[in-house]
Chain A
Amino acid sequence: MTAISLRDVRKSYGGLEVISDVDLDIETGEFVVFVGPSGCGKSTLLRMIAGLEGINAGELLIDGKFANDVPPARRGIAMVFQSYALYPHMNVFENLAFSLKIAHVGKPEIERRVQAAADMLQLTPYLKRRPRQLSGGQRQRVAIGRAIVREAKVFLFDEPLSNLDAALRVATRIEIARLKERLADTTMVYVTHDQVEAMTLADRIVVLNAGRIEQVGRPVDLYDNPRNLFVAGFIGSPAMNFLPATLTFENGSTRIERNGKPLVTTGFTSGGRAGVQNGTLGVRPEHLDLASPEAALFSGTVDLVEHLGEVTIAYMRLDDGTPMLAKFDRTRELEKGEILHLKAEPSDLHCFDADGMALPRR
């Protein structure tokens, strides 16, 4: 069943359109992550679902019902804010109980629900403490607890981990993943600019750019089959290498040349295109491996080497001046100025036309 539907949704401030023609269905119990660069509209879209921002055009359906004008509190939605947004003058219990008191829920029921949420989030020892007496991670748990006690059908998370330090971020991320397992029927929509959070938490990722959806899909699908250059460059770390290439479309297939030399990269269809285009060849740094000069797809000089322990990253410059990153397993003894010859499996190559759209494979 569809929990949330967005149909041709738009939002603009004055003449500036920040959300354009967004169409999206989120299924009940799904964990959907909105990801994109700063200013792409992901938080705005989340706030439109919450009801904190109005919708200029299009429809928002919650459980199949038109919800554009439904007040935030009546949408069955709870929100976890980036800054936690706890009530500083109330203790943890009062913070958790606030929405229930407002809704005139009976005292025994309030205590039952608060206690259940506190147990789930290991907050019981802190119920009498004020927010200022809690650590960042504990505060974030209270913010999540506030959503749990409301027994909302949909949880919205607006960059909930970005105020935490690196170690706590990982720990809280795991807690959120566990929480999702326990609340299997709860739909969760999560905004982040951190693609690791997106890849690890999401059932589906929605990649946004300049107010538009670039691609929606399972994390692994976005990684393996990015729809366009933006998604290819955004998903994956370090980012995919892009190299200029000449594409010739003939008889439904694509021939790729770099610097006048043909590349043996069978498998890309023309997708109905014809003629010759200046396109882009994409290859992820982790898909490159050392090769003999004869078998090499790319050759270049090492500019800089980063040894990260489990991997080594080489920053290279190809013969035609194009920068390229290569990521090798474990430590490799590479030196600045060294010439590397690299290969990649043909199935790991990506090809984009002049408009930046990925070419389909056979």
Chain B
Amino acid sequence: MAQDTVEAVITGKQATRDATAASRRGEAWAALVFLTPWILGIVLLTALPMIGSFVLSFSNYDLLSAPRWVGTANYERLLFSDPRYLKSLEVTTVYVLVSVPLAVAVALIIAVTLSEATRSANFFRGVYYLPSLLGGSVAIGVLWRQIFGSSGLVNISLSGLGFQTTSWIGDPRYALWTLIILNVWQFGAPMVIFLAGVRQIPKEVVEATIMDGANPVQRFFRITLPLLSPLILFNLVMQTITAFQAFVPAYVVSDGSGGPIDSTLFYTLYLYLEGFRNFRMGYAMSMAWVLLVIIAVFTALSFYASRFWVHYES
């Protein structure tokens, strides 16, 4: 009797194990079916083109004839004998280093100001987010030309006030700065993230600082800023990556030339001109790969530096 019971238990356990294994196999198939479109997408639309572009970056390729292997010649030319490339790198670096911290700082200040849940704050949150919805579009590029052009809104205002006017987008000293202003103006996305972060700061912690005698400025620098530091890092990294890839504003404002005198020749604009105007695809691809490395190094440095100023809750 006891033996029968033991056998029944063993048989039962075996049956349970079989059923579990079968159900796991079923789940694995279901997972594969659901994942297939995305796996295919990554392989066909991302991985293969990336590998292809990496290989082609070692070639001369004009889209019309077959690629010709040139070894590291494209990379050598980039780094050592193309002053226009170095100019584009300089323009883009200035653009990133000035506009990204400014945009993040403006986003942070506006978010902290608008963090109170009043009706007017809700309205202004919407208003301030609007430029981010429009910012990357061609229409805003065109609008920027109208605002900063020689007979644009800025000049009309300045001449009305008796100041001397200039063509802001036509003057190589100022053209890049109009694009920096455009990027700073699009602070909506980081602002929304900061707003969420400010709301996460416990009310009692803020009240504790009030009881401890901290004024609003001390509260901002000693409590709000450190507690938002993970989001500041996130926004800096995301904005940096986006800014390195900025293309549309420079293309529209400079009529696709990067002018005047290459003063708005963004990295991606020069890449586009080399690839699609001059049909030097191999060279353009080598530029793309160097940009990837630059962005990766910037991001890695940001994360390395973050250990000295970013506070994580857990």
Contacts and interface: CB of A to CB of B under 8 A. Distances in A.
B213 A99 contact: yes
Contacts of A50: 211
B211 A102 contact: no
A81 B227 contact: no
A174 interface: no
A102 B213 contact: yes
Nearest to B227: A89
A81 B204 contact: yes
A83 B202 CA distance: 9
Contact of A52 (B210, B218, B227, B313): B210
Interface in B190-233: 202, 204-205, 207-214, 218, 222-223, 226-227, 229
Contacts of A103: 213
A22 interface: no
B180 to A, nearest CB: 32
A87 interface: yes
A88 interface: yes
Interface stretch (A70-78, A254-262, A263-271, A351-359): A70-78
B278 interface: no
A85 B208 contact: yes
Given A81-B204, A82-B204, A102-B218, A87 B210 contact: no
Contacts of B311: 88-89
Interface string A49-64: 0111000000000000
A98 interface: yes
B227 A73 contact: no
A146 interface: yes
Given A98-B212, A103-B213, A85 B207 contact: yes
A240 interface: no
A86 B209 CA distance: 10
A132 interface: yes
B211 A79 contact: yes
Contact of A73 (B211, B226, B313, B314): B211
Contacts of A72: 210-211
A87 B205 contact: yes
Contacts of B212: 73, 98-99, 102, 146, 150
Contacts of B226: 89
A77 B211 contact: yes
A72 B215 CA distance: 11
Interface string A222-249: 0000000000000000000000000000
Contacts of B314: 132
A150 B207 CA distance: 16
B213 A85 contact: no
A133 B209 CA distance: 21
Contacts of A81: 204, 207-208
Contacts of A89: 226-227, 229, 311
Nearest to B207: A52
Contacts of B207: 52, 79, 81, 85
7 contacts: A72-B211, A83-B202, A87-B209, A88-B313, A98-B209, A98-B214, A132-B313
Given A73-B210, A73-B212, A88-B313, 6 more contacts: A72-B210, A83-B202, A88-B205, A89-B311, A103-B213, A150-B212
Nearest 5 A-B pairs (CB), nearest first? A73-B213, A99-B212, A85-B204, A89-B311, A85-B208
